[in-house]
Amino acid sequence: MRWTWLKKNITALYSLATVLIIIFIFQALNPSFLSYEGFRALIYAMSYFLIAACGLTFVILMGSFDFSVVSLLKLAAMFCAVFFDKYGMMVIPISLLLTTAFGCLNGLLVSLFSIPSFMATLGVSIVLEGIVLYFSKGKLFLIYDETFRALAVKQILGLPAVFFWALMVWAICVFVALYTPFGRKTYAIGENIVAARLSGIDVEKHRILVFTLSGFLSGLAGVLYMAQYGGGSVQLGADMSVPLFASIVAGGTALTGGIGGPHLTLIGVIIITWTQTGLLMLAVGRDVQMIIFGIIAIALAAATVDRKRVRIVK
């Protein structure tokens, strides 16, 4: 009985052990790592990131990829800043509607036109980058409204509001993945798409819904990013894609689909974002950070891919 439980949860245990090792190393190298200010920095770093990662987790669970997540996040952030003076707080639902629509477009391209998900979402990502560049004119986009900023930076029990937004989204995603038909269908498609079709699951419809969900959560992450930092540029998220995928895999979600879930993504996000923050606190250069996370991403992908089920394109 104990061995069965251990075998079933071995990935999560490895991930938790990794978190403890990271804490030990960075605390030893920098005693302020777990200070109050240090912990706040860790919370800020992981919160909006976790929201985007939860949406992407569902896509990967389904055995697909979404390379437009960071661009959708950037689109929402840019729209909030550029159009806030014109629309006020209405920029929030409009931004979410926009990113949700583009998420749905991803799903339509994959499901109805049978375009591999990595290619469809990469193409949409390029379109989104062009839209952001056009409306921002390549300049910094800033927002100063205190009511908007309070969505992320207002203090609740000594912690920023963005942390509670992230915690709420994560909890809902965990419930949906583990305890609803939507979640069960996602796992089924990721495990065996042919068997899922034979069991009566409308695979095409479900794919559209999952990509739509990813678009919505990417937009929400972008809104909260802008509320948290108050500004951004066309370079926003330039080095975010690899850590985003790495965080999901680090938690134990397999790139081949059907294994893992948002309950494990939280651990992966902690591993990656806390490592990033720890390196920043140690004044490690961006070039070295990119090398480190590139190696981490390759190692994690190699360790989690189920080679019996891997396909050429997805």
pLDDT band (50, 70, 90) for residue 4: low
Residue 82 lies in a domain: yes
Question: pTM of the prediction?
Answer: 0.90
Q: What is the reported pLDDT for 301? A: 67
At residue 261, does pLDDT exceed 50?
yes
Give the number of domains in the chain. 1
Residue 80 lies in a domain: yes
At residue 214, does pLDDT exceed 70?
yes
- Residue pLDDT, tens place only, 159-195: 899 999 999 999 999 999 999 999 999 999 999 999 9
Residue 23 lies in a domain: no
Any idea what DSSP says for residue 259? Answer: S
Domain with 258 in it: 35-304
Residue 22 lies in a domain: no
- Residue pLDDT, tens place only, 125-167: 999 999 999 988 878 888 888 999 999 999 988 889 999 999 9
Residue 169 lies in a domain: yes
At residue 306, does pLDDT exceed 50?
yes
Residue 278 lies in a domain: yes
Residue 4 lies in a domain: no
CA distances from 92 to 72, 197, 219, 223 (A): 14, 37, 9, 7
Cβ 265 vs Cβ 54: under 8 Å: yes
Look up the CATH number of the domain holding residue 278: 1.10.3470
> Higher-confidence residue: 9 or 201?
201
Q: What is the reported pLDDT for 5? A: 47
Distance (Å, whole) CA 248 – CA 53: 7
Amino acid at residue number 162 = V
Kind and range of the H or E element at 263?
A: helix 262-281
Mean pLDDT of 5-33: 71
The C-alpha angle with vertex 168 and arms to 167 and 170, in degrees rounded to 5, equals 65
Residue 242 lies in a domain: yes
> Higher-confidence residue: 210 or 153?
210
> Higher-confidence residue: 262 or 236?
262
Half-sphere CA count of 33, side-chain side, radius 13 A: 21
- The string of DSSP codes covering 62-79 is TT---TTHHHHHHHHHHH
- Residue 63, sorted as left (phi over 0), alpha (psi -120 to 50) or beta, turns out to be left
Q: What is the reported pLDDT for 160? A: 92
